[in-house]
Structure 1
Amino acid sequence: MTDDNQRPSWVVLKFGGSSVSSREDWDNIVQIVQDNLQQGVKVAIVHSAFKNVTNQLERLAQLAVDNSSKELLNEITDYHQKMASQLKLDASLLTPWLDSLEASVSRISDHGTLTSKLRAAVVAHGELLSSTLGAEFLAQQLGDDRQTQWLDARELFVSEAEANNNVNDQYLNAVCHPRPNHQLAKNWSESFDVVLTQGFIASNDDGETVLLGREGSDTSASYVAALLEAKKLEIWTDVAGMFTTDPNKLNEAKKLEQISYAQAFEMAEAGAKVLHPRCLSTVMPYRIPIEIKNTHQPLESGTVINGEGSDSRWVKAIAIKQKVPVMTLLLGRRGQQPETLQKVFTVFNQLELGCELLASTKESLVMAVETSNSVHGEEILNDLSVKLAEMCRSVLLSHSAIITLVGCQSSQALWHLLQIDAELPEQWLLLGHTSSDQHLSFLVSDDEALDILKLLHKHLIH
């Protein structure tokens, strides 16, 4: 790492969709930026699409297949024009991106099929539209004394072709591997006080637009932090940190003041939605601390994530994923033969679906299906079942929940679990633990999941 005294000092601020969708939000953002500038650091902002716009664009791309997208396209256009008006900006700033969006929608209609490449081109417009307004508003509020620059993230980050990725992943769940660029950080520091770019989007070697997976703005922020070898990465969202469990599902959830990279990574991997796990793996090598804060209450302390942490004897947090499609495959005696497993994973790859092997015996596999980055809807699960049935004795599809205990060794977590003097579910499946041994997961009925979460939180969190 370069000597701090020899390189410019940058702070990276990521603002999610719930943090950029009103004039009040932007007044808060201006104050946050000014506070950082007054401390003598340069500011890099990673900007998400406005709240719910990404979902609307996903729907727009689907409707475009049969040329029924006009009404929704008009709604999206009107919404952004109203946002421009709310920020007292000239709506003509949006014209190039609105024209580009309309052209992308037309390409889907002409093609008659929604591919991952066409989907990425449409969905990326959420960040391009919002960040254009955000950069202009910020420039006007900061005035001529501060130089603000809008940058296209697709020119900053190029995805790396992964040999094992299917086409769907290459366009919708792309991966970049940025490295510190001290000359770039120096050049930006000499020319700009604030740079603003988009989250969620990048390009590939052919110059095509790719996406970094859902919630990918966190990942983008970590890429910028790594590129600049930033002093700090701040994730501004609608909650003031990470909690012992999802506060939207359990009122008793407690805020964590500080956790280690490893613990935060385990929580993110297990389904905690505040951070994307790829965000953590990018900044960890450079020891860049992360702080999660609430844009709507900027003075409230958040959660600091850094390298400081020690082994604990107690569970620190409980993560939950609900409505997880789970396939149980009964394969017969040849279930664990390499050729059988290869056929199973080939089917997933052909349908452009991700999967996680959760548990196995000599004759069965239990697999969670990842559909969030698929170009298909839930109906693809039926197609998956039909194809797998060709090589299995039977295929069972259910929607379950995964509950994960994070913070201490899996054997210690299991010991605490066995001490609970309360009625636990009659059946649950031990899924396993990671190589770090700080993670113990169970598959439970989705209907019982919240009751189980409440019981475990009461007995295991101190």
Structure 2
Amino acid sequence: MNSTPALLPADAPWIVIKFGGTSVSTRPRWDTIARIAGTHRKQGKRVLIVVSALSGITDQLKAIGEACADAARCRAFYVGIVERHHALFDDLELRSRNALDGWLARLDQLLGDPRRPAGVLSWQAELLAHGELLSSTLGALYLNATDLATHWIDSRDHFRCEALPNQSEWGRWLSASVEARPDPAAAAALAARGDVFIAQGFIARNAEGMTTVLGRGGSDTSAAYYGALLSAEAVEIWTDVPGMFSANPRQVPDARLLSRLDYAEAQEIATTGAKVLHPRCIHPLRETRVPLRIKDTNRPDLPGTAIGWSTVQTAPSVKAISSRKGITLVSMESISMWQQVGFLSDVFAAFKAHGLSVDLIGSAETNVTVSLDPSDNLLNSDVLARLCADLEQFCRVKVIAPCAAITMVGRGMRAMLHKLSAVLAEFGALDVHLISQSSNNLNLTFVVEEGLADTLIPRLHALLIRAEAMRVDDGAVFGPSWRELAEGAATAAPAAWWRRRRTALLELAAAGTPRYAYDLDQVRTQARGLTALGAVDRWHYALKANPQADILRTLHAEGFAFECVSFAEVEHVRRTLPDLAPERILFTPNFAPREEYRAGLAAGVRVTLDALHPITEWGADFAGHDILLRVDLGSGRGHHDKVKTGGAQSKFGVALDEIETFREHARRHGARIVGLHAHLGSGILDAGHWRGVCAQMASLAERFNRIEILDLGGGLGVPSRPEDVPLDLAELGAALAEVQRAYPQFRLWMEPGRYLVAEAGVLLARVTQVKRKGEVHYVGIDTGMNSLIRPALYEAWHAIVNLSRLDEPPTDLVQVVGPICETGDVLGHNRRLPPCREGDVILIAEAGAYGAAMGSRYNLREPAAEVVV
């Protein structure tokens, strides 16, 4: 062993680093701990390492406690614990086992302790403490063997737990609390001994000097206590994930890393269900203003999550959505509680008497409902029955369980309600037992049936992102997604065409803005990706997305037919492509006047009907004609209600219960239904969606006599946000081929629009003014919702960059707005751009669909012109 290096100066800062069970269970992980601790030591910092028990050991110790009356079972668990630690000792290639075996001998003594058969709480606390005592002993031996001089210390010598008011006996022994505060004398005494120390999480002593434990997850809390005691420069929690996320990443792969949080937000996220951090560990660090960092043991180069004092902007936003299962609700109802003084005091006295803490509360004139969180209560059926018996003296009691509490966390939740309409709508069809909005304005919680949580959380997270309630583009708060971290750079999307053609676009902008610019090569690329899918017999381009003539010619050359929703569109495509066969045009009007249907039939184009009225009132017009019937399959899809085209709230399609009436009138008038059509919405990135639509339609078509065509509509999504996963064309092709094999008698048609042209178009505009109002920074450009109405109309998200300063870091969080006299004239909320100046060229991407096509002269401002690059 090398000679011990000189001690650091007395005023060297402290770093507390904590490692959980999986991080201390193998030799490679201990090598990582040695490397991290050694790096801090070389940087001139004293290091205190806090460790948990080896993974699974606390569960085995707990199993001994639960089997306390069965000596043989206790002995079997003990043997497994000994073997586990001896195996790691051997793997670490250590020499003397005396220190380790000393703790194992003390554990053996506890098996013969007279308190064991009754499972006395003081005995359980001593038992559970041995996991950390054993792991820290192994760690000290190994770190010293690696030439990192490390001193073992007993955390029970530094942490004295204090009984809380009304705390149960169980809580005093097995979920104890410590009031940690800076102790310069203790810090100086440790500094005089050395520079690197290892200690146990989870354990403390009470006023009588007996061992207590801090509850599951208490090692995080121990690290925080040490951080406060030593007035540390920082506390680092090293775990197997890169930090805290906007949702549980194992439930929501697109959950984003929370780069920075303040103490209050981190406390709420931890308290409401995030497992990365124990809720109790925030308070001591907040009180002493010691920063906290969550780091990934496997990938120490990742920045993780930084938690500190006022490290983030205070603008209202949702930072995370989480869930807690195992929630029990107690509903208390009585007409006599109305204006009754002391009613709540009486009922809460019952909770106090049974040692139960209340989490959430909701009240009405005749009802009070509260939740009990199992993580803070020793809750079992006997305790609950005794509680209900006491409460029934005052009111009728109903227990609702098991439930889940779903919580959105962020600053200024009350100011966020207008952005949560889509989220709130998700709860509209559910049985919500309780809604609670925290008094600190940091969370909004819904309590629902437990079985709903796993499917609800991913949907709600996606809706929060799309409503920009989560500012996913704010790099100061939201980092990469779990999926991006897991898959790495290999999945990075190719650079957009406009990045390669930046110079040409800047020259184009110099000739005048605002202006739409289209790249036809991108249109061809999208078209060829679709035509390669052999399962689709005919592709129609949905003209309404963008009727620009060069785009129509390009798609015609790629073999596309065309779908029109007005007769004016039919005439436009025929003028642009005079040689196009009428049969290659599909006319799908909706609530159009009778004259348009007659004109379509006269022109020889395919006509689709999507309501009873045309066939019942004008049936003679369709005599002898082949028609398609658009059906409503009963539900819609899409990122916003205004792009969902299925279900009773959508004006499109014939309802399933009216199909037979439609068929009867068609037969009476001699119209032949040769195709079924269904389109449920837009922006869909799930390839499996069309398999379901196709299967439903094929099953429906078998009830008809002459169906030849199944038109699956469009709606193929285009990724726009960073977290969006592109539509998997191979999966789409395989899904459609599967259905086609089952129903070979039908030809499949599809009619994409936005998919073909969105990424091919950009909107170029110039900065006119910049403005600040409080914390809000506006960047004004020379066009707005008169050129691109999608953000205002259905909260569409478009990437926005400063093309003039594309290589400069995007440091400013801004609102990109136009000159239209409407509050809704916002093209991008909360976007990160470099500092913008008057005259800079702003590029809005994915604007080739429903941009110029929906332009207007509102405010008598001309919309952007169009040009092909």
Task: State the alpha-carbon separation in 2 of the partners of residues 32 and 345 from structure 1.
Answer: 49
Q: CA RMSD in A?
A: 2.4
Mapped contact 2:181–2:284 kept (Cα < 8 A) = no
Question: Hey, what does 1:176 align to over in structure 2?
Answer: 178
- Pick from 87, 90, 103 the counterpart of residue 92 of structure 2: 87
Task: State the alpha-carbon separation in 2 of the partners of residues 348 and 52 from structure 1.
Answer: 33
Task: State the alpha-carbon separation in 2 of the partners of residues 81 and 389 from structure 1.
Answer: 55
Give matches, 1:407-426, under 5 Å. Answer: 407-420=410-423, 423-424=426-427, 425-426=429-430
Closer, same or farther: CA 192–343 of 1 in aligned 2, 3 Å? same
Which ranges in structure 2 are unaligned for 5 or more consecutive residues?
1-8, 466-471, 473-869
Are 2:399 and 1:396 aligned?
yes
Which ranges in structure 1 are unaligned for 5 or more consecutive residues?
none
Task: State the alpha-carbon separation in 1 of the partners of residues 214 and 87 from structure 2.
Answer: 28
SS of the equivalent of 2:358 reads strand
- Pick from 105, 109, 120 the counterpart of residue 103 of structure 1: 109
Q: Which amino acid counterpart does residue 443 of structure 1 have in structure 2?
A: V
Question: Hey, what does 1:75 align to over in structure 2?
Answer: 80
Worse overlay, 114-123 or 333-342 = 333-342
Question: Hey, what does 2:459 align to over in structure 1?
Answer: 455
Give matches, 1:2-401, under 5 Å. Answer: 7-67=11-71, 68-89=73-94, 90-107=96-113, 110=115, 112-141=117-146, 143=147, 146-307=148-309, 308-334=311-337, 341-342=344-345, 344-372=347-375, 380-382=383-385, 384-385=387-388, 388-389=391-392, 392-401=395-404
State the Cα deviation string for residues 125-162 of structure 1 (Å, max 9, x = none). Answer: 11111111111111111x2xx53111111110001232
Q: Which amino acid counterpart does residue 181 of structure 2 have in structure 1?
A: R
Worse overlay, 265-274 or 160-169 = 160-169
Give the Å deviation of 1:391.
5.1
State the Cα deviation string for residues 246-275 of structure 1 (Å, max 9, x = none). Answer: 112211111111111121111112121111
Are 2:437 and 1:433 aligned?
yes
Worse overlay, 305-314 or 291-300 = 305-314
Mapped contact 2:260–2:307 kept (Cα < 8 A) = yes
SS of the equivalent of 1:326 reads strand
State the Cα deviation string for residues 63-96 of structure 1 (Å, max 9, x = none). Answer: 0134341211211221122121222234432222
Worse overlay, 175-184 or 367-376 = 367-376
Give the Å deviation of 1:421.
8.8
Identical-residue share of aligned pairs (%): 35
Mapped contact 1:388–1:395 kept (Cα < 8 A) = no
Give the Å deviation of 1:301.
2.0
Q: Which amino acid counterpart does residue 48 of structure 1 have in structure 2?
A: S
Mapped contact 1:353–1:371 kept (Cα < 8 A) = no
Task: State the alpha-carbon separation in 1 of the partners of residues 280 and 226 from structure 2.
Answer: 13
Q: Which structure carries more relative contact order (alpha carbon 8 Å, separation 6+)?
A: 1
Task: State the alpha-carbon separation in 1 of the partners of residues 344 and 122 from structure 2.
Answer: 29
SS of the equivalent of 1:190 reads helix
Mapped contact 2:16–2:235 kept (Cα < 8 A) = yes
Closer, same or farther: CA 148–96 of 1 in aligned 2, 3 Å? same
Closer, same or farther: CA 398–192 of 1 in aligned 2, 3 Å? same
Q: Which amino acid counterpart does residue 169 of structure 1 have in structure 2?
A: G
Mapped contact 1:236–1:293 kept (Cα < 8 A) = yes
Task: State the alpha-carbon separation in 2 of the partners of residues 83 and 358 from structure 1.
Answer: 48
Mapped contact 2:132–2:200 kept (Cα < 8 A) = yes
Q: Which amino acid counterpart does residue 367 of structure 1 have in structure 2?
A: V
Task: State the alpha-carbon separation in 1 of the partners of residues 340 and 60 from structure 2.
Answer: 44
TM-score by length of 1: 0.91
SS of the equivalent of 2:404 reads strand
Worse overlay, 324-333 or 407-416 = 324-333
SS of the equivalent of 1:448 reads helix
Task: State the alpha-carbon separation in 1 of the partners of residues 212 and 168 from structure 2.
Answer: 13
Closer, same or farther: CA 113–395 of 1 in aligned 2, 3 Å? farther
Task: State the alpha-carbon separation in 2 of the partners of residues 201 and 338 from structure 1.
Answer: 43
TM-score by length of 2: 0.50
